[in-house]
Amino acid sequence: MSLSCAFTTLVLAIHVYLAIGCPQLYGVQAPYLLYSRENWGAAPASDIHPLKTPVPYVIIHHTYLPAACNSTQQCKAAMKSMQNYHNSLDWGDIGYHFCVGSEGGAYEGRGWHNLGIHAGPVNNYSIGICLIGDWRVEQPPREMLETTKSLINTGILNGAISPTYELKGHSQIMATECPGTALLDIISKWDHYSEEQFVINKKDNVGEVWNLVMMVLLKFMMCTNILAVAVGAPALFRKDTDDNEVLTYDFPFVTRAQWSARTAKQKLSLQTPIPYVVIHHSYTPPACYDGPTCKKAMRSMQNFHMDDRGWWDIGYNFAVGADGAAYEGRGWDVLGAHALHFNNVSIGICLVGDWSNSLPPTSQLKTAQALIAAGVELGYLKEDYKLVGHRQVRDTECPGDVLFNEIQTWDHYAPFPASADDLPEVEELKKI
């Protein structure tokens, strides 16, 4: 490319930038235009969880349908149609992190730091990039491939993708023809392409050091907590009398006032007694082992839910900390926002922390169970309530593999609905 040609391209790009208003020009490897969600008119995401970054995998997809798009207009329409389709599957947003059009534009899906829904067991560990079109026989245009590579480099630079990432096609993870034979052939020649099998428990050293620190911290907190009880420290154990309601829980309970909750923007009541309990983990914030940290976690979840998600309040009805205390969220009789399409018939309890690879401390598990028992005793929960993990009613990794295994041993655990397809079979849902 001659100098004048490069200059013309740059001027053109600037003009496109000015004309369209918002897309950003990135120049990591080859420059590409990034169209934000706003640019392509995305509907707000209704249920997303943060992604633990940097991720060790990049997964490449094709769409098959919609077909290849050759203009910004076509690609924006393709993004919208995918988002509509994925929302109809109850995914809460378009599944991919980014998509790329044949014109070389990059389109923001879930972005770099949200968990995607694109590759089943690997969602937690990967960024999913989708090359719009059917690339089984036909090869994607050069612009599309260049933008894909540049996009990956952007991800490395901003810390979303590990510099030692492995590149894979969707078909290497799941039984699918995606991303198409022609495209798979091409990426198999790219740097970082790997034929190695995906290892679900692949951990980085940082994670292990973190776990160790957490274990030491937990040990320390347990010791100091015992000490606190011994000297009669009352703080966490005092019962509050909010709203003239005297609660007599036999476990530490922290009211909204005690964790300095913001006032809910609006409330809808929940019809009691409630037939379901949905167990969640927070993933982030991480586990909290003392009152001040847990209160801070509550405030940060509430801020995130209210300010970023636009919800009326913290989504959960209750949360439980690794300090063994229950934290009041929306409470027993207020409709929550924690399990789309299931909020009407359930209480959502979040065990603060990431319980994918380790079990919450016994005190946290015991308090969660005691809280549920109290709900039955107080008449908020049906005596024959059913207990499920969030993943049973939605395509999500929540409440983490290890916690999910644990709750399967609890009383009232219900092995159904095993998938969203089973939901119409749920008696309680039919009536609503």
CB-wise, 39 or 396, nearer to Zn ion? 396
CB of 398 vs Zn ion, minimal distance in Å: 3
3-state secondary structure of 306: helix
In the list 40, 54, 61, 372, the residue contacting Zn ion (rule: CB under 5 A) is 61
> What are the beta bridge partners of residue 114?
50
Applying CB under 5 A, which of residues 82, 94, 106, 178 lies at the interface with Zn ion? 178
Does an H or E element contain 145, and which? helix 142-157
Q: Is 362 helix (H, G, I), strand (E, B) or coil?
A: helix
Answer for the pair 252, 326: CB distance below 8 angstroms, yes or no.
Answer: yes
Residues contacting 254, CB < 8 A, separation 6+: 236, 291, 294, 295, 298, 325, 326, 327, 328
Q: Binding segment for Zn ion among 144-152, 168-176, 250-258, 373-381 (CB under 5 A)?
A: 168-176
Per-residue contact flags (x/-) with Zn ion for residues 332 to 371, judged by CB under 5 A: ----------------------------------------
Type of residue found at 82? M
Should residue 183 be labelled a site residue for Zn ion when binding is judged by CB under 5 A? no
Minimum Å distance from CB 49 to Zn ion? 7
Question: Is residue 390 within the footprint of Zn ion (CB under 5 A)?
Answer: yes
Preceding omega of 360 cis (within 30 degrees of 0): no
Give 3-state DSSP helix, strand, coil % of the chain, rounded to 5. Answer: 35, 15, 45
Segment 216-275, which members bind Zn ion (CB under 5 A)?
none
Total Cβ atoms within 10 A of residue 227? 10
Rounded least distance, CB 40 to Zn ion, Å = 20
User: By CB under 5 A, how many residues form the interface with Zn ion?
Assistant: 6
By beta-carbon proximity to Zn ion, the closer residue of 178 and 270 is 178
| Residue 170 binds Zn ion (CB under 5 A) | yes
Closer CB to Zn ion, 168 or 280, in the complex: 280
Stretch of 173-181, 207-215, 254-262, 295-303 lying at the interface with Zn ion (CB under 5 A): 173-181
* Distance of closest approach, residue 317 Cβ to Zn ion, in angstroms: 12
The 271-310 contact track toward Zn ion, x by CB under 5 A, reads: ---------x------------------------------
Query: Which is nearest to 265 in space by CA: 313, 302, 316?
Result: 313
For Zn ion, give the closer residue by CB, 33 or 115: 115
Task: Identify which of residues 33 and 337 has a Cβ nearer to Zn ion in the complex.
Answer: 337
Given the complex with Zn ion, which of 76 and 390 has the nearer CB atom?
A: 390
Report the distance separating Cα 306 and Cα 396, nearest Å.
21
Positive or negative, the Cα torsion across 178, 183, 185, 190? Answer: negative
Rounded distance between C-alpha atoms, residue 61 and residue 59, angstroms: 7
Residue 387 CA to chain centroid, in angstroms? 21
Residues 371 and 130: their CA atoms lie apart, in Å, by 43
Q: Which stretch binds Zn ion (CB under 5 A): 30-38, 81-89, 172-180, 360-368?
A: 172-180
The interface region with Zn ion, picked from 203-211, 236-244, 359-367, 384-392 by CB under 5 A, is 384-392
Burial class (CB in 10 A: 0-12, 13-18, 19+), 269: exposed
Q: Which residues bind Zn ion (CB under 5 A)?
A: 61, 170, 178, 280, 390, 398
